[in-house]
Chain A
Amino acid sequence: EDKVVQSPLSLVVHEGDTVTLNCSYEVTNFRSLLWYKQEKKAPTFLFMLTSSGIEKKSGRLSSILDKKELFSILNITATQTGDSAVYLCAVGLNKLIFGTGTRLQVFP
């Protein structure tokens, strides 16, 4: 059975902290791993990773994929209150399987 596991389930930090979110997977068909941020409503796209070892960056966010060990990490440096959200990881080929998400709360 395809499975995507995210950890931790929940994280509470103060502004300025650096956080690392984890996503491990076991899927039959893999092409890429995607990260989404979900605030109040629909998830919004952050990154798509297809190759091992190549870091993707967008401002204070970065992510990397390890296809040998079947996991990815999402790093957020110098966190801000606006980073508070649920972060979702998804993997697959012709359909995406989502993890349960990590709820990040950033306090001033």
Chain B
Amino acid sequence: NAGVTQTPKFRVLKTGQSMTLLCAQDMNHEYMYWYRQDPGMGLRLIHYSVGEGTTAKGEVPDGYNVSRLKKQNFLLGLESAAPSQTSVYFCASSLFFPTNEKLFFGSGTQLSVL
């Protein structure tokens, strides 16, 4: 049972580099989310998607872009990485509204920007 899979698990970038985090879910969920987690800050929503081809901004969207070209995949892009983007990134999905059902989380990506 794969559930929600994030790749890569770890990454180190230099300031200004770009990268894409991939999230894949095999549960046919409509909703997908990207969160970041920093010490003492809890989980903060970056972007989310309510279905294939849709995206919306969350609490902290600046410096990130997302795409949901296929229902099962949700990509998070950093065009020009900054040290402030050093964080643990979690992808999550839910069948419909997240407050009707629990979120399923991926195992996280530890990103360091030097």
Contacts and interface: CB of A to CB of B under 8 A. Distances in A.
Given A94-B50, A95-B58, A32 B42 contact: no
Contacts of B44: 98
Interface stretch (B14-22, B61-69, B71-79, B101-109): B101-109
Nearest to B105: A42
Nearest to B91: A42
B107 A96 contact: no
A32 B100 CA distance: 8
B43 A32 contact: no
Contact of B42 (A41, A48, A94, A101): A101
Contacts of A32: 99-100
Interface of A: 4, 6, 9, 31-32, 34, 41-45, 48, 50, 88, 90-101
Interface of B: 33, 35, 40-45, 48, 50, 56, 58-59, 90, 97-103, 105-108
Given A41-B108, A42-B105, 18 more contacts: A6-B42, A9-B40, A31-B99, A41-B107, A42-B106, A45-B102, A45-B103, A48-B99, A92-B98, A93-B99, A94-B99, A95-B33, A95-B98, A96-B33, A96-B98, A98-B45, A99-B42, A100-B40
